[in-house]
Amino acid sequence: MFDPKLADAPLGHEVAYPQKYDASLLFPIARATNRHALPHMPDWIGADIWHGYEISWLNQKGKPMIAMARFIFPQSTPNLIESKSFKLYLNSFNEERYPGAPAVLDIMRRDLSRAAGAEIEIEFEPVNTRVECTPLEGENIDDADIEITAYRPAPELLRCVDQAQVVSETLTSDLLKSNCPVTGQPDWGSVQIRYTGPRIDREALLAYIVSLRQHDEFHEHCVEKMYCDIWQACKPVALCVYARYTRRGGLDINPWRSSEPVSVEQARTPRQ
């Protein structure tokens, strides 16, 4: 669902690169607009975990400082942040002087919490941190030799196997792709589906994941759609859908939604 308010967003428009700090660059988008279009509103938990790789500012002597950052937006925040506005905002710190990383962190936490409509978490990491890349944990289903005919969301493809027994398993796919609803640019990602319930037909699940290939939607909304479609079609007892998208403009996003408390992997996938 395209929100008419997005016509005012910086995404898809040529904008001047910020030369000074400017919190007004942030463009919040109400989650409710998309959630009203979901088949039902689940009682879920989760978060949108962003990683920033282009964080920089000047110290009091004018020397550039750099860091990596993790931004955690609970799914309960009224708003998400449009990605290009997020990038522009972060880069508005580049030529400003601050007494240290804690000062920058406090400003970012204040501004982003205000834009999101609730408190968010931010952590800075030094750029010399050793980072391990690993595929999402679980059994990858991408080798299934299936014919694909749907490239628009097709939840009717989802089903459980005949006389399905209740199982607990973790399935993954690297074939997730959707498109930005404003620019049409492709968004590439990997998805992990953890569930307890009647065994899901893996070929049907893969065909469903691929059916999002020409779908125009933000990352967070795609994860919520997948969660709701699987929940309705397969009736699991417990479900967690977690996607890790490749970065764009120095940011990657990793949304997850779950029916119960879980821990999610923080390691980058090889494509991130």
- For 145, counting Cβ atoms within 10 Å of its Cβ (0-12 exposed, 13-18 middle, 19+ buried), the class is exposed
**What whole-number distance in Å separates Cα of residue 44 and Cα of residue 181?**
24
Rounded Cα distance, 109 and 111, in Å: 6
Of 187, 201, 229, 252, catalytic: 187
Contacts (Cβ under 8 Å, ≥6 apart) of 193 = 138, 170, 171, 172, 200, 205, 226, 230, 239, 240, 241, 242
- Of 48, 160, 180, 201, catalytic: 180
The verdict on whether residue 36 carries a ligand-binding annotation is no
Q: Please confirm, yes or no, whether 180 is among the known catalytic residues.
A: yes
20 marked ligand binding residue: no
260 annotated to a ligand binding site: no
Is 184 known as a binding-site position? no
> What does the angle CA 125 – CA 113 – CA 82 come to, to the nearest 5 degrees?
85
219 is in an annotated binding site: yes
Establish whether 215 is an annotated binding residue: no
Q: What 3-state class would DSSP assign to 231?
A: helix
Q: Is 111 labeled as catalytic in the residue annotation?
A: no
The verdict on whether residue 220 carries a ligand-binding annotation is yes
On whether 257 is known to bind a ligand per the annotation, the reply is no
**How would you classify the pairing of strands 186-198 and 166-179?**
antiparallel
Binding residues, by number, are 81-84, 219-220, 248-249
Binding residues for NADPH, by number, are 83-84, 248-249
Give catalytic residues, as residue numbers: 180, 187
Binding residues for substrate, by number, are 81-83, 219-220
